[in-house]
Amino acid sequence: MIALFLKLTLAAYLLSTIGYAVSLVKIRIKAAKVSTFVLLAGFASHTVFLLLRTVEAGFIPVVTTYDFLMLFAWVLSGSYLAFQLKTKTRVLGALISPLALLLVIIASERLGDVVVVPGILKGGLVPVHIILSVAGEVFFTLACLAAIMYLIQEVLLKTHRANNFSRLLPPLRDLDKINSLCLLSGFMFFTFGVIAGSLWARIVWGGHRAWDPKQVWTLIAWLFYALLIHQRLAIGWTGRKSAVLSIAAFSILLASFISLSLYSVSIHSF
């Protein structure tokens, strides 16, 4: 049964990816609308899959890299769908859907492996820490994607190459607003996730295990986002400058995740 819902999730994400691609190539809004509903079906199937996997494991499976990727894809799809209802930026789905598909494909390769999870990772604060952190990272991802779209739209308008594709993209002001909302939401979730992780470390180890590579890079990324948000709110950085820094901040977060997952050993390696 669990394998069935995994296949349904993959199929739905693949179909929505194809649909969004058609909407961009053919400039068809209807294709994007249909793809949104297909993505919603994939999200529903993904939800059932995670519930079944939780029942099968006996705890919330979020501590391994592959479970993390599966959870990230789920939160990414759900956050976009909720956000899309408010902003009507269906074109963003052309970036979200293939990313979710890729993450699920990577995660599904190792989900059948037997993983022995240490008892200290089954505490109540562990899933809280991971889920909040993932939610923050998802909003940072959305902020980065909105920033990329902002820069593309800006170039098209400044070079007077506005075309059907340009009209498909949201206005610059809307993209900047999306970037701002996602940065603020992401920072809030990410901060509470870091706090939950810090409390869990103190309970389990009697300290925060400072200078662990993951903690160091997390602190660097958090400070970068804190600076960016401060500059937006206090000094009024908007538009291109904010978009470029959003991409730079997310690049730090992404690079740290990849490097730590592949090359570093830390207390976050499971």
pLDDT band of 72, cuts 50, 70, 90: confident
Instruction: Sketch out the chain's domains with CATH numbers.
Output: 1-109 (1.20.120), 118-270 (no CATH)
* Whether pLDDT at 262 is above 60: no
DSSP character at residue 119: G
Q: What is the pLDDT of residue 140?
A: 92
* Whether pLDDT at 75 is above 70: yes
Identify which of 34-43, 156-165, 212-221, 247-256 has the greatest average pLDDT: 34-43
Triad 250, 88, 246: Cα angle to 5°: 15
- Whether 77 and 46 have beta carbons less than 8 Å apart is answered as yes
Q: What is the pLDDT of residue 11?
A: 92
When the pLDDT of each residue in the chain is averaged and rounded to a whole number, the result is 79
Interval 172-220: pLDDT, tens: 888 888 888 889 989 999 999 888 877 777 766 665 555 666 777 778 8
Q: What is the pLDDT of residue 36?
A: 87
| Among candidate residues 227, 75, 81, 96, the one with its CA nearest the CA of residue 149 | 96
Q: Rounded to whole angstroms, what are the CA distances from 95 to 19, 76, 92, 137?
A: 12, 11, 6, 16
Q: What is the pLDDT of residue 159?
A: 75
pLDDT band of 44, cuts 50, 70, 90: very high
Numbers of helices and strands, H then E, in the chain: 9, 0
Q: What is the pLDDT of residue 191?
A: 92
Q: Residues 6 or more apart from 144 whose CB is under 8 A from it?
A: 246, 247, 249, 250
* Whether pLDDT at 245 is above 80: yes
Interval 93-124: pLDDT, tens: 888 899 899 988 888 876 655 555 555 566 66
pTM recorded for the entire structure: 0.79
Interval 151-170: pLDDT, tens: 888 887 777 666 666 666 77
Whole-angstrom distance, CA of residue 51 vs CA of residue 225:
32
